[in-house]
Structure 1
Amino acid sequence: MERNYEQLIELNVGNVKYNEPLKYHTTIKIGGPADILIEPYSIEAIEKIMKVIIKGEIPWTVIGRGSNLLVSDKGIEGVVLKLNKELDHLDIHENQVTVGAGYSLIVLATQLSKKGLKGLEFAGGIPGSVGGAVYMNAGAHGMDLSTILVKAKVLFDDGTISWVTKEEMKYSYRTSVLQKKRPGIVLEAILQLEAGDKHSIQNEMQVNKDYRKETQPWSNPCAGSIFRNPLPEYAGKLIETAGLKGYTIGGAKISELHGNFIVNNGNASAEDVRRLIQYIQQTIYDLYGIRMETEIEIIGRK
């Protein structure tokens, strides 16, 4: 792996780090080391990186801003591409937006509200990147990315890059075709908004932000919603009704503010969180016969 590291350094494709702890790159502040972590300078740089990865048959993983993610204590094998500030370009042309995968979803929602563009108000308080949001069809308040996506530029697991339309994404609740049937990572997205009243849009977004601040524990390290809502039920309500708020395993604790959040009390391991997830799943199944599926991605060495 050291040889691959030196090769990637020589290519000058981005900020390259060796044996980098991923706890510094996730919102829950948990995660063992990546063999190699790269923050690519551009999409063209990613194409060069992928040639090295494919030729060397190196395992690879892509992350964004680290929300909705639990990384193993043993870290991640091979190369981790972190799509962040270098892929945060934004171009607004009338009501259509072209935006890089590394762009902050919250910042994007704020920028569009200032322009009087309607359609992303629901995302005003959602942490993470545009790429991750498009990948998992992030949403809130009855809206999601599928309502505004036109198409996305995607890096597929064979190293090829192409555009995928909204229809081809086959969106459903917190799910896209990229997660299982056609694995791929979003590099760029084109979104279609509507012209609206700037003040009304900003007011609606502020209400959504305030609601999240009051009901979700983002002042503590956390990954976001742990479970998908088993509709018509809601994960947080089921966990609260089961009396699990505040339950702790090691340094991982079910938030007392919102049952569908697990917070890191400062020294939590990924194993603590994993065991707590399993405990919740077993308890909810025993009480209600409902199987809880995780919304967060759990990745890394077993």
Structure 2
Amino acid sequence: MERLAQELKENNVGKVLQHEPLAHHTTLKIGGPAELFIEPNSVQGLEKAMTLIKKHNIPWRAIGRGSNLLVSDEGIKGAVIKLGRDISDLTVEETKVKVGGGYSIVALATQLSRKGLTGLEFAAGIPGSVGGAVYMNAGAHGSDMSKILEKALVLFEDGTIEWLTNDELQFSYRHSILQNERPGICIEAVLSLEEGNREAIVEKIQKNKDYRKETQPWNFPCAGSIFRNPLPNYAGELIEKNGLKGYEIGGAKVSDLHANFIVNTGSATAQDVVDLITYIQKTIKEKEGIEMHTEVEIVS
């Protein structure tokens, strides 16, 4: 690992750190160290970093803004690649939007609303990056990325870069092909939006942001929704119905505001959160006969 770190620095790929605490890079403020942490300074830097990672046969994973992520207390072996501000170019031509994977999805929704472009209002309040939103097919308010994404530029672990169309990404509920079948990093996305009434779009963006503030516990560190909705049921309603709102294990607590959120009250470990998730799953299975599957990605 020392040799790889040295080569990455020699090739000026961007920020390279060893044993970087991932609690600094997740919205839950939980997570042990990354053996090697890389924040590329450009797409070229990212490509070079991936080439060197494969050369040294080191396991890797990518993160964006650290939402929807629970990192173990032991941290992550291998390399963690963070797409940040240096991979966040934005070009808007009429209703076509080309945007880097590191761009904040909230900031993008706000920016496009001011240009009178409609289609991304659902993302107001989603605390992730564009790349992460494509990877997870992030959504809210009855819409998601699959409704507006035309294609995505993906870097695969063998170093190849390929445009994948909406169909090729095989979107489904909170899922894309990048998660399992073809692991890769979304480094750029092309969105197809529509022209609309600027004032109405800005108002809807603000309404969605206000709704999140009123109904979700963003005043505490959290990762977003913990469970996928077992449709036609809703995860939060099931958890609340079974008396688990406010339930605590260690420093992890089911939010008093929204039962499908687990918050870090200040001292939570990853194990506290995992134990609370397991307890909720066991309770709902026993009382409702329903399997609860996590939306948050648990990484060790």
TM-score of the superposed pair, with normalisation by structure 2: 0.99
User: SS in structure 2 opposite 1:150?
Assistant: strand
Secondary structure at the aligned position of 1:177 is classed as coil
State the secondary structure of the residue aligned to 2:233.
Answer: coil
The alignment partner of 2:168 has SS state of: helix
- Residue correspondence of structure 1 range 188-199 to structure 2 within 5 A: 188-199=188-199
Show the counterpart of 2:90: 90
- Partner in structure 1 of residue 268 of structure 2: 268
Alignment deviations for residues 61-105 of structure 1 (CA, whole Å, 9 cap, x no partner): 100000000001111111110001111110001100000000000
The equivalent of 1:81 in structure 2 is 81
| Cα displacement (A) at 1:157 | 2.8
Aligned length: 300
Q: Distance in 2 between matches of 1:57 and 1:20?
A: 20
Give the Å deviation of 1:51: 1.2
TM-score, L = length of structure 1: 0.98
Q: Look up the match of 2:43.
A: 43
Report how far residue 50 of structure 1 moved: 1.1
Q: 1:254: which partner in 2?
A: 254
Counterpart code for 1:190: V
Deviation at 1:27, TM superposition (A): 0.2
1:233 corresponds to: 233
Secondary structure at the counterpart of residue 231 of structure 1? coil
3-state SS, counterpart of residue 50 of structure 2: helix
Q: Per the alignment, in what secondary structure is the counterpart of residue 167 of structure 1?
A: coil
- Separation in 1, partners of 2:185, 2:241: 37
Report the Cα distance in structure 1 between the residues aligned to 2:39 and 2:233, rounded to whole angstroms.
Answer: 39
Deviation per CA, 1:183-202: give whole Å up to 9, x if none: 22211100000000000001
1:110-125 correspondence runs (5 A): 110-125=110-125
The code of the aligned residue for 2:193 comes to L
Q: Tell me if structure 1 keeps the 8 A contact 2:101–2:189.
A: yes
Counterpart-to-counterpart distance in 2, 1:59 and 1:39: 16
Structure-1 separation of matches of 2:23 and 2:79? 16
Tell me how far apart the structure 1 counterparts of residues 45 and 17 of structure 2 sit (CA, whole Å). 16
Question: 8 Å contact 2:54–2:157 — kept in the other structure?
Answer: no
Shift of 1:159: 2.6
Secondary structure of 2:172's partner?
coil
Where does residue 26 of structure 1 map in the other structure? 26
1:146 aligns with 2:146: yes
Aligned: 1:70 with 2:70: yes
By how many angstroms is 1:170 displaced? 1.0
CA displacement 1:95-150 (0-9 Å, x = unmatched):
00000000000000000000000000111111110000011110111000101000
Quote the Cα distance in structure 1 between the aligned partners of 2:260 and 2:155.
31
Q: Tell me if structure 1 keeps the 8 A contact 2:116–2:197.
A: yes
User: In 1, Cα distance between the equivalents of 2:100 and 2:178?
Assistant: 17
Measured after TM superposition, the shift of residue 152 of structure 1 is: 0.2
Residue identity opposite 1:175 in structure 2: H
1:161 CA displacement: 1.4
The answer to whether the Cα contact below 8 Å between 2:113 and 2:202 also exists between their aligned partners in 1 is yes
Give, as a single letter, the amino acid of the residue that structure 2 aligns with 1:182: R
| SS of aligned partner of 2:53 | helix
Unaligned stretches of 5+ in structure 2?
A: none
Tell me the residue number matched to 2:155: 155
* Structure 1, gaps ≥5 residues long: none
The answer to whether structure 1 residue 179 and structure 2 residue 179 are counterparts is yes
RMSD of aligned alpha carbons: 0.7
In 2: Cα distance, 1:183 partner to 1:54 partner: 14
| Moved >4 Å (runs of 4+) | none
> Who is 2:288 aligned against?
288
Distance 2:17 2:184 in 1: 23
Deviation at 1:158, TM superposition (A): 2.5
Q: C-alpha separation between the residues in 1 aligned to 2:34 and 2:196? A: 44
Give SS of 1:286's match.
helix
Identity of aligned residues (%): 63
Q: Which amino acid letter does the alignment assign opposite residue 77 of structure 2?
A: E
Once residues 182 and 10 of structure 1 are traced to their aligned partners in structure 2, the CA distance between those partners, rounded to angstroms, is 30
Structure 1 residue 5 displacement after superposition: 1.2
**Structure 2: distance between partners of 1:81 and 1:47:** 11
What's the CA shift for 1:3?
1.7
SS of 1:178's partner is: coil
Distance 2:252 2:111 in 1: 35
